[in-house]
Amino acid sequence: NAGVTQTPKFQVLKTGQSMTLQCAQDMNHNSMYWYRQDPGMGLRLIYYSASEGTTDKGEVPNGYNVSRLNKREFSLRLESAAPSQTSVYFCASSPSRTSGKETQYFGPGTRLLVL
Amino acid sequence: AQKITQTQPGMFVQEKEAVTLDCTYDTSDPSYGLFWYKQPSSGEMIFLIYQGSYDQQNATEGRYSLNFQKARKSANLVISASQLGDSAMYFCAMREVGFNDYKLSFGAGTTVTVRA
């Protein structure tokens, strides 16, 4: 049981390049999320997918696109990378709300450096 | 407006002592949940403890307890008997009501360093 996996672990891009961050979960969770973590700012939600087939913007969606490929996979795409997108990116998943106590389960993160 | 405020950027604590990490939140929703996560230097996010807005008792999980003061909108984490392995960044987060989603808002975090 791998939980939430992310690839790649680390990436260096030049300004203007594009790339896709991959995320997969094997817990049969309905909801998936992408966050970015910057020093002194905690985690900020970029996009989320409440269920397969739906995606919605979070707090900081500009410069990103997402695809919920199936129930397991949720990818984040940077079409034209900018230095301001240098960050650590976390993918997370959670089951449907039942008791409300359900936590989100996080992947190991992807460190992205945009030069 | 910031929903979660953690005012302590960094704290030092002696091994075996207790430490309290502050968290205040802002919401007009009567139904919400509060979470604490630990992020060690390796980077993963580890769930520690949960408190629901309607829970009558403060949550406890082993050495972690949550001092929930609803009227003050405060959800402080208490770590008892600190261990060297408790050195990490700690994040407070809040879930507000959503029909089918489960968004969390995070604070900026508090770095805890445990001294031997």
- Rounded to the nearest integer, the mean pLDDT of chain A is 92
Mean pLDDT of the region B22-43:
92
Q: How far is A29 from chain B (nearest CA, A)?
A: 12
- Asked whether the beta carbons of residue A103 and residue B91 sit closer than 8 angstroms, the reply is no
- Give SS3 for B11: strand
B5-31 confidence digits (pLDDT tens): 999 999 999 999 999 999 999 988 888
Instruction: Count residue pairs from A and B with Cβ separation < 8 A.
Output: 63
DSSP for residue A84: G
Q: pLDDT digits over B60-102, tens only? A: 999 999 999 999 999 999 999 999 999 999 999 998 766 555 6
What is the pLDDT, as a whole number, of residue A100? Answer: 64
Q: Shortest CB distance from A104 goes to which of B31, B102, B108?
A: B102
C-alpha separations of A56 from A42, A50, A53, B113 in Å: 20, 8, 11, 37
Contacts of B9 in chain A (CB under 8 A): 40
Q: Do A106 and B44 touch (CB under 8 A)?
A: yes
pLDDT of A38 above 80:
yes
- Collect all residues of chain B within an 8 Å Cβ-Cβ radius of residue A48: 101, 103
- In whole angstroms, what separates CA A66 from the centre of its chain? 8
From B6, B45, B105, residue closest to A90, measured CB to CB: B45
Give which of A71, A81, A104 is closest to A21, Cα–Cα.
A81
Q: Strands, E, within chain B: which ranges?
A: 4-5, 10-14, 19-21, 24-25, 32-39, 46-52, 60-61, 64-69, 74-79, 88-96, 104-106, 110-115
Determine whether the interchain pair B103/A48 forms a contact, defined as Cβ–Cβ distance below 8 Å: yes
Q: Quote the pLDDT of residue A8.
A: 96
Residues in chain A with CB shorter than 8 Å from the CB of B3 are none
CA–CA min distance A107, chain B (Å):
7
Q: Which residues of B touch A45 (CB under 8 A)?
A: 103-105
% of chain A beyond a pLDDT of 70:
95
